[in-house]
Amino acid sequence: MAYLRWRRFLELAAIDRPWVGELFMRRGDGPKAAPAKVWDGYYAKGAYDELLESDQRHHHRLLAALVAEAKPHPRILDIGCGEGAFYDSIRALTPARYLGVDLSDLGIERAKQRLAGELKPGVVDFVTGDGARFETDEKFDVIVFPECLEYLGDPEALIAHYAKLLNPGGVLGFTQWLGLKSLRLWRQIKTTTDVLDEAVVSAPWGGAWQVWTCRPR
């Protein structure tokens, strides 16, 4: 517990003092891309079941509220959607379009089962794909990356890629477990975007997430 408190102290200090993050970053703290079978394995053993619990989803709810302010009834692309947890938080916005993409077949299968009653081809869909470079002819008002940024490779290349899939004035949204590594990724993203909002959401049990929205320059 003392160690966790120390880490949280460092993480909060590092939000506006990058040198703190860089000084205390652990070896191996960096982006962690992995093949689909690794993610399938996590879903198969239930490692992500808890992500669907209410006290794990405050970051989704805040991001959904920011999305709603940016654009009512938006066209949304959800990268790294897993079982569709973020969809639960934007359902009430009645998005004109929702497309969830995940590298894991099993994650997508579960999303389709869980939300079977809400799937509508061309309106609400879940597909398997690589979120590091997902290609489509569609354009979106909002593209979100809930808790998956660190698995998608170089952040600047990611922004350049998804800027092309945004409608004019479109918004990118991120949530990320609060950590020195994710703070570094966020700083990298700030170099090519204009920040609209950024916040830290804490749960009483000790979890904390960064939530932010921005526009590519």
Residue in this structure with the two tokens 């489509």, named with its chain if needed: 136
Burial of residue 100 (number of CB atoms within 10 Å: 0-12, 13-18, 19+) = buried
Looking at 20-28, 79-87, 88-96, 205-213, which segment touches ligand SAM (CB under 6 A)? Answer: 79-87
130 near ligand SAM, rule: CB under 6 A: yes
Among 86, 87, 162, 186, binds ligand SAM (CB under 6 A): 86
Among 89, 104, 176, 213, binds ligand SAM (CB under 6 A): 104
Q: Which of 186, 185, 208 is nearest to 197 (CA)?
A: 186
150 near ligand SAM, rule: CB under 6 A: no
56: DSSP letter: G
Q: Residue 130 phi/psi, 5° resolution?
A: -90, 110
The strand pair at 75-79 and 97-102 is best described as parallel
Report the site for ligand SAM in 39-68 (rule: CB under 6 A). Answer: 39, 48, 51
**Element (H or E) spanning 169, and its range?**
strand 166-177
Among 63, 99, 103, 171, binds ligand SAM (CB under 6 A): 103
Of 101 and 211, CB closest to ligand SAM: 101
151 near ligand SAM, rule: CB under 6 A: yes
What is the residue type of 189? I
155 near ligand SAM, rule: CB under 6 A: no
Report the site for ligand SAM in 165-204 (rule: CB under 6 A). Answer: none
- The whole-angstrom separation of Cα 151 and Cα 101 is 14
Of 20 and 144, CB closest to ligand SAM: 144
Q: Are 126 and 98 in contact (CB under 8 A)?
A: no
Min dist. Cβ of residue 145 to ligand SAM (A):
8
208 near ligand SAM, rule: CB under 6 A: no
CB atoms within 10 A of CB 199: 14
Min dist. Cβ of residue 150 to ligand SAM (A):
9
The half-sphere exposure of 76 on its side-chain side, counting CA atoms within 13 A, is: 34
- The whole-angstrom separation of Cα 39 and Cα 18 is 31
Among 21, 74, 95, 131, binds ligand SAM (CB under 6 A): 131
Among 124, 132, 158, 189, binds ligand SAM (CB under 6 A): 132
Q: Which residues bind ligand SAM (CB under 6 A)?
A: 39, 48, 51, 79-82, 85-86, 101-104, 107, 130-132, 146-148, 151-152
